[in-house]
Amino acid sequence: MKSFSILQFLKDKTILVTGATGFLAKIFVEKILRIQPNLKKLYFLIRAGDDKSAKQCVFREVIEKDLFRVLRDTWGDSLDSFILEKVAAVPGDILYEDLGIKDSNLKEEIYRQIDLVVNVAAITKFDERYDALLDTNTMGAFHVLSFAKNCAKIQMLLRMAMRESGMELDSFNFDPKSIDWEDYFLNVHIPGLLRYAVK
């Protein structure tokens, strides 16, 4: 079996991330930017009315958060230019066909360039209205899948989600805190995806 390196896989890749201002997406994005600066581009789908608002949202809600402290320490004064080179804010919404992307030139650019789509957009509070849950968690996921099918270079569509925080840890037959998650993702999850989902 050929060995797999996530760092090599991400090199020169272009990734579309939905739900980029959410908790899980911020962790995912920070980790990718930190471990693989040779990533080609990250497109963030942001619920915003225009390009300027989307860009401001990326900096205010994602990049300026304390989670990105290590990147700030590593890149220093060059962080903003690194982010401007690697991250593109895209106004849109998974609730709509074509992810609500109105700029047809930008949409075509994304279709041509995307290697990986990471859908992290979801409602995780299950006391939300049923129609809102259905729209975001089901129809939104369907719109992301439909969009990904139009991407010429797509290699993977990844859905990331969190469980309701009110669940009890004893519902597992093991202690989830005891798992080496980095080892799990690198040696079990990603190779499994490559073997069974990416053909």
Tell me the residue range of the domain where 86 lies: 6-162+174-196
| Assigned domain for 167 exists | no
Torsion of CA 100, 86, 18, 152, to 10 degrees: 70
Instruction: Determine the pLDDT at residue 183.
Output: 72
Across 101-109, average pLDDT: 96
Sign (positive or negative) of CA dihedral 121, 22, 132, 51: negative
Instruction: Determine the pLDDT at residue 122.
Output: 74
| Assigned domain for 119 exists | yes
Q: State the Rg of the chain over Cα.
A: 17
Summarised one tens digit per residue, pLDDT across range 28-79 is: 899 999 999 999 999 999 999 899 999 999 889 888 888 899 999 999 999 9
Q: How far apart are CA 98 and CA 4, in angstroms?
A: 32
Across 162-184, average pLDDT: 60
| Assigned domain for 1 exists | no
| Assigned domain for 169 exists | no
| Assigned domain for 127 exists | yes
What is the domain count for the chain?
A: 1
pTM tops 0.85, yes or no: no
Please classify residue 28 by burial: count the beta carbons closer than 10 Å to its beta carbon, then call 0-12 exposed, 13-18 middle and 19+ buried: buried
Q: How far apart are CA 150 and CA 170, in angstroms?
A: 42
Torsion of CA 15, 51, 100, 19, to 10 degrees: 50
Q: How far apart are CA 136 and CA 95, in angstroms?
A: 6
Instruction: Determine the pLDDT at residue 186.
Output: 72
* CATH code, domain with 71: 3.40.50.720
Instruction: Determine the pLDDT at residue 199.
Output: 47
Indicate if the pLDDT at residue 190 is higher than 80.
Answer: no
| Assigned domain for 168 exists | no
Instruction: Determine the pLDDT at residue 192.
Output: 65
